[in-house]
Structure 1
Amino acid sequence: MKFNNLFNTDDRAVSPVIGVILMVAITVILAAVIGTFVLGLGDSVSDTSPQASLSFDYTADAADSTIEVTHSGGDAIPESATLTLNSDVAALDTTDELGSELTVGDTRTVGIDAELETGDTLNVIVGDRIVASWTYQG
């Protein structure tokens, strides 16, 4: 056995291994970025519905039943938002829309054609997504 073999500092194989690992990592990252743009996943990420906290107050009168929708916090609800009662827009009185943008602190009063029964659900919908839902508990 030669004494020089004990202190051999030949580490030529380390450099090619690191190079291969870096090339594989770069390939995976490029494939992910290109795949995201080709499949259009980047477009759907920004298409989100508003996140808001809404409270509801139901008042039943002999002549008129109303629900007050109050924006307690979060994103503004656009005026294009629709309200449905048990998935039926026609059950709401004069309007099925909020009328104007609903921001924090705003309140809108919506008339209802009939008295609510336990389990009736009011939904606030923006686009095709339900932003807030309220179920009457009697």
Structure 2
Amino acid sequence: MTDTGRRPAGELESAVLAALWAAHTPLTPPQVQRRLDGALARTTVATILARLHEKGTVARSRAGRAYAYTPVVEDEAALAARRMHSELAKGGDRDGVLAHFVSGLTRDDERLLRDLLGRLGHGTIEGP
């Protein structure tokens, strides 16, 4: 068993998701562990996959007596967007959250966001 050095959960989740994205096929916890070159214990991988499943980030299906996992989101950008939507859906001051988010954007990010919103309004890009 390899010591993870107490890395943050988000870093471990990202590593597990990267292995699933690269596989392009459902993987069991031992298969994920092998793709991570044994850097994490099998039980750690299984726990991370269970947490990702609880969050709705991965789907699971029976593979014999175990589960095989497939990512629900297609990449890091989609995952970040899903997290942002989740934060907004928690309720509270939605206007305030969005105002704080937008106020922290760089000028380039502002231009990009305006462009994307304009294209969304004209039907040239798909919404969520």
Q: After TM superposition, is the score higher than 0.5?
A: no
| Higher share of residues assigned strand | 1
Shorter-chain TM band:
under 0.3
Give the TM-score, by structure 1 length: 0.24
| Higher share of residues assigned helix | 2
Give the TM-score, by structure 2 length: 0.25
